[in-house]
Chains A and B, each alone.
Chain A
Amino acid sequence: MTTIVKPEVKTAEKETVKKNKSSVYKTEQLNLWYGSNHALKNIDLDIKENEVTAIIGPSGCGKSTYIKTLNRMIETIPSVKTSGVINYRDKNIFDKEYQVEELRTKVGMVFQKPNPFPKSIYDNIAYGPRIHGIKNKKILDQIVEKSLRGAAIWDEVKDRLGENAYGLSGGQQQRICIARCLAIEPDVILMDEPTSALDPISTLKVEELVQDLKKDYSIIIVTHNMQQAARISDKTAFFLNGEVVEFDETDKIFSNPSDERTEDYISGRFG
């Protein structure tokens, strides 16, 4: 496992673009408690735009908690308390006057288990635009097609847009959920183990998709799959017991980690 080599490493190209990338998310001294369980401890992370940032770490280390904090979905759990700052595009999302709906309109999320709405494929994709006031049928048609194409599932579903999304396979459902997320053209896409419920072929499709989406979106992806993190991400953050142990270029993390615990984890010695 230590010998994972990232395919198509274009380090030179990446170096040149890196300089003028600005931050989408700057997390500073973030702490989070579930009741008395201190789940995130002094997290500092600076996430750049148009990159894929992978979050890895053993079960229960706080990956999902962190990613759900980024769009404040964590607030649906009443016992949660937070301290610290998360700046999204230079505004602290914890500010009292910060509109959470506005944040979530900018930051899409794909969940571990596909969770389409029990509606037609079309209505699933059109839901987001509709709640944000887009009613025009022609425009909606365009958005639906564009989003489904963007999620690489248009050809599979174009003749059955009126059918219930639950009639699709798990992998197709997950791409519907990605399309649903693309439909409101967010700035950032958060993905919590989006392929853990999928077969290898669907997984590959979603991975290719992520690579593709990087051009227009900033993507933060939680994964348990080391190869996946190595294949698709630019940066990798290694979480352990609610702390960020190491955050660096993915190539560096997988070839030459600076912390021994990272080394142990990616080589499968614990976790």
Chain B
Amino acid sequence: MAMNEPQQISVQELIAQKSNRGLLAFTEKLIPKILFLIASVSVLTTIGIVFTLIFETVTFFTEVNIFGFLTGTEWYPFANSTPTYGILPLVVGTLKITGIAILVAVPIGIATAIFLSEYASDRVRRFIKPILEVLAGVPTIVYGFFALTFVTPILRSIYPDIAIFNALSPGIVVGIMIIPMIASLSEDAMSSVPNAMRDGAYALGATKLEVAVKIVLPAALSGIVASTVLAISRAIGETMIVAVAAGSTPGFNWDVTGSIQTMTAYIVQVTTGDAGYGTTIYYSIYAVGFTLFLFTLAMNMLAQFISKRFREEY
């Protein structure tokens, strides 16, 4: 056996025998170029979308005064005689949904994350985490019907004044929809806080809660806030739930019991209706879409900023 005389084998010689050196060098050069091309596709698509948005939005503003659009409190694009395009009612509708969703999702999401990361045993965590991820993958139309046929009737049985279509029910359900996202991402952030830090606090006589709230939470804060902001940006862009359960009555008020319309729901209404190509209404969905895009862009930038700014270095 060759094994008996190891001095016969020279690893360096075997390495030198490797034959396809030229081909390897070639592919090594080629691969980054191919990968760059593939990556460009997604970037170019995004740029294309943004440009279409901007282009059609500009067309819209040749027909509608931009100042009136940004400050107007009446949104009646379908009015026969004098349609008005004041976007604030749609913005307010979106904010109502988002606000309610935040109230529901942030406390529950972060509490869930604290439980999973600091209290739950490995077995419980391994059981609950996948459930959260499945919940995050439920199609939003399902949530929409859940809001309309389950949550709304319950709300109406408690407060009969609530309309069939209202902001409260879809707001709550959008909140439920983003809980898994907040919980799961926050749990990741908290779990990645080194155990050595927890030990340092336990060794000083800290209780579990004190360790969770005063050590782990601050250390994971940037991740938690960033995940929350991302979830909020999803709530702002959420479409099906509000299209199904929130109604289609744009109003400039803070009432959450009546029918509202969000920016997304308006876009659905127009695209599923029969507004002809080239009409002002057709162009208005681009203006609304662009506004929505600016909102979510701002949220994503905020998330970026926060995760940089509030990072506790360790």
A in complex with B:
yes
What residues make up the interface of A, taking CB atoms closer than 8 Å to B? 71, 73, 76, 78, 101-105, 108-109, 111, 113, 115-119, 127-128, 131-132, 164, 166-167, 177, 180-181, 184
B204 touches A127 (CB 8 A): yes
Asked if B206 is an interface residue, CB under 8 A from chain A, the answer is yes
- B203, closest chain A residue (CB): A109
B200 touches A177 (CB 8 A): yes
Given A101-B206, A101-B207, residue A127 in contact with residue B201 (CB < 8 A): yes
Chain B nearest CB from A175 CB (Å) reads 14
Given contacts A76-B199, A111-B200, A184-B205, 12 further A-B contacts (CB under 8 A): A78-B121, A104-B203, A109-B199, A111-B196, A115-B200, A117-B201, A118-B314, A119-B218, A127-B214, A131-B204, A131-B206, A131-B210
Tell me the residues in window 187-219 of chain B with beta carbons closer than 8 Å to chain A beta carbons.
194-207, 210, 214-215, 218-219
Asked if B28 is an interface residue, CB under 8 A from chain A, the answer is no
B199 touches A104 (CB 8 A): no
Cα A48 to Cα B214 with chains together (Å): 35
- A105, closest chain B residue (CB): B205
Cα A255 to Cα B207 with chains together (Å): 45
Cα A71 to Cα B203 with chains together (Å): 8
A73 touches B202 (CB 8 A): yes
A to B CB contacts below 8 Å, 21 in the list: A73-B199, A73-B202, A76-B195, A76-B199, A76-B202, A104-B203, A104-B206, A108-B203, A109-B203, A113-B196, A115-B196, A115-B197, A118-B197, A118-B218, A118-B312, A118-B313, A128-B204, A131-B204, A131-B205, A166-B314, A181-B203
Chain B nearest CB from A54 CB (Å) reads 20
Chain B residues lying within 8 Å of A109, measured Cβ to Cβ, are: 199, 203
Cα A104 to Cα B206 with chains together (Å): 8
Chain A residues lying within 8 Å of B314, measured Cβ to Cβ, are: 118, 166
A132 touches B218 (CB 8 A): no
Chain B nearest CB from A161 CB (Å) reads 16
Chain B nearest CB from A55 CB (Å) reads 17
The B interface, classified by DSSP as helix, strand, loop or mixed, is helix
Chain B residues lying within 8 Å of A116, measured Cβ to Cβ, are: 200
B197 touches A73 (CB 8 A): no
Chain B residues lying within 8 Å of A113, measured Cβ to Cβ, are: 196
Name the contact of A117 in the complex, choosing from B122, B195, B200, B205 (C-beta under 8 A): B200
Name the contact of A73 in the complex, choosing from B121, B203, B207, B210 (C-beta under 8 A): B203
Chain A residues lying within 8 Å of B195, measured Cβ to Cβ, are: 76
- A99, closest chain B residue (CB): B205
| Among A108, A117, A177, A180, residue most surrounded by chain B Cβ atoms (within 10 Å) | A117
Cα A113 to Cα B219 with chains together (Å): 18
Cα A177 to Cα B219 with chains together (Å): 17
A180 touches B204 (CB 8 A): yes
B202 touches A105 (CB 8 A): no
Q: Mark B159-198, 1 if CB is under 8 A from A, else 0.
A: 0000000000000000000000000000000000011111
- A167, closest chain B residue (CB): B313
Given A118-B219, A131-B210, residue A184 in contact with residue B204 (CB < 8 A): yes
Chain A residues lying within 8 Å of B202, measured Cβ to Cβ, are: 73, 76, 104
The 6 lowest CB-CB distance pairs between A and B, nearest first, are: A105-B205, A118-B312, A109-B203, A115-B196, A118-B314, A104-B205
Q: Mark B55-90, 1 if CB is under 8 A from A, else 0.
A: 000000000000000000000000000000000000
Name the contact of B197 in the complex, choosing from A101, A102, A117, A132 (C-beta under 8 A): A117
- B121, closest chain A residue (CB): A78
Tell me the residues in window 105-123 of chain B with beta carbons closer than 8 Å to chain A beta carbons.
121-122
Chain A residues lying within 8 Å of B197, measured Cβ to Cβ, are: 115, 117-118
| Among B122, B197, B202, B218, residue most surrounded by chain A Cβ atoms (within 10 Å) | B202
A117 touches B206 (CB 8 A): no
- B220, closest chain A residue (CB): A118
Name the contact of B214 in the complex, choosing from A102, A115, A131, A184 (C-beta under 8 A): A131
Chain A nearest CB from B205 CB (Å) reads 4
Chain A nearest CB from B4 CB (Å) reads 31
- A129, closest chain B residue (CB): B204
Chain B residues lying within 8 Å of A76, measured Cβ to Cβ, are: 195, 198-199, 202
Given A78-B121, A127-B214, residue A119 in contact with residue B205 (CB < 8 A): no
Given A76-B199, A115-B199, A118-B197, residue A108 in contact with residue B313 (CB < 8 A): no
Chain B residues lying within 8 Å of A184, measured Cβ to Cβ, are: 204-205
B219 touches A104 (CB 8 A): no
Chain A residues lying within 8 Å of B210, measured Cβ to Cβ, are: 131
Given A117-B215, A128-B205, residue A164 in contact with residue B313 (CB < 8 A): yes
Chain A nearest CB from B223 CB (Å) reads 13
Chain A nearest CB from B209 CB (Å) reads 10
Name the contact of A180 in the complex, choosing from B200, B219, B313 (C-beta under 8 A): B200
Cα A115 to Cα B195 with chains together (Å): 9
